């Protein structure tokens, strides 16, 4: 249970990072 929760947190963090990077690229472009 704890492992899957950590996995979900990692997936959520990855999605957040991805959108932040996309936003940064849009601002720079």
Any idea which residue has 């991805």 for tokens?
Answer: 18
Domain count of the chain? 1
Any idea which residue has 């996995």 for tokens?
Answer: 7
- Residue 27 sits in which domain range? 1-29
Give 1-29 as a 3 state SS string: CHHHHHHHHHHHHHHHHHHHHHHHHHHHC
Tokens of 2: 């704890």
pLDDT value of residue 1: 73
pLDDT value of residue 9: 96
- pLDDT (tens place) for every residue of the chain, 29 residues total: 789 999 999 999 999 999 999 999 999 98
Tokens of 4: 């899957």
Tokens of 27: 């601002």
């Amino acid at each position: 249970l704890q492992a899957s929760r950590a996995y979900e947190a990692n997936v959520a963090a990855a999605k957040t990072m991805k959108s932040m990077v996309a936003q940064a690229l849009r601002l720079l472009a």
